[in-house]
Amino acid sequence: MAGALLLLSTVALLIAAIGFTAAPPLIAVAYIVARIRLAVGKVGEDERWLLYPTLLLGDAGLLFVILCWPIMLFIVLGRWSGFVGFYPTFFLGAAPAAGTFGYWYQVISVALIVMGSWWTLLGGMMIRRPAAMRLLLRPFLQNWVPEFGRWVIPTGIVTVVIGAVALLVLTW
């Protein structure tokens, strides 16, 4: 069973490296299979070099999505023309035209505020309840989760301040 999972993970990673358009689904399959193999039992010395690249690539992608989902969400919402309807005209005045520099400047500024708030909450959760992130970062950085959370909180606060200052400078 373990040998078949290892072989499937390795084949999926190799095919993903060759085929660019099929890469994301195959990397996801390789990552899931490698995670299953890691959960099934102890990984031997000879298997680590086959499993760890897949786990490292999958963990990096997953960590990027967890940390940066607000920016991605706001870029997708900013492209939607109905997003201007949510503009707080009572506080900021008339809304800039969708697609203009001022519009995108405000969308990215608000995304930075939301992302910084998310990082602050995530950092607090990493310190108080690190089990979920330890599971995600296993076998690489699971012991560093509380320390990582102590760095994520001030980074989130600085990101909120940068987004708020950028928004105030534009709308003042």
Read off the pLDDT of residues 54-87 as tens digits, 9 standing for 90 and up: 888 888 888 888 888 988 888 888 777 666 666 6
**Residue 109 within any structural domain of the chain:** yes
**Residue 150 within any structural domain of the chain:** yes
What is the pLDDT at residue 156?
94
Work out how many domains the chain is built from and give that number: 1
**Residue 55 within any structural domain of the chain:** no
**Residue 85 within any structural domain of the chain:** yes
**Residue 52 within any structural domain of the chain:** no
CA distance 166 to 21: 38
Q: Predicted confidence band at 102 (pLDDT cuts at 50, 70, 90)?
A: confident
CA distance 115 to 126: 16
With CA atoms as reference, report the closest residue to 75 among 98, 104, 97.
104
Contacting residues for 37 by C-beta, under 8 A, at least 6 apart: 2, 5, 6, 9, 43, 47, 51
CA dihedral 31, 33, 35, 36 (to 10 degrees): 170
**Residue 31 within any structural domain of the chain:** no
**Residue 145 within any structural domain of the chain:** yes
Contacting residues for 63 by C-beta, under 8 A, at least 6 apart: 136, 137
Q: Predicted confidence band at 98 (pLDDT cuts at 50, 70, 90)?
A: low
- Amino acid identity for residue 124 in this structure: G
**Domain ranges, residue 147:** 62-171
**Residue 105 within any structural domain of the chain:** yes
Q: Predicted confidence band at 19 (pLDDT cuts at 50, 70, 90)?
A: low
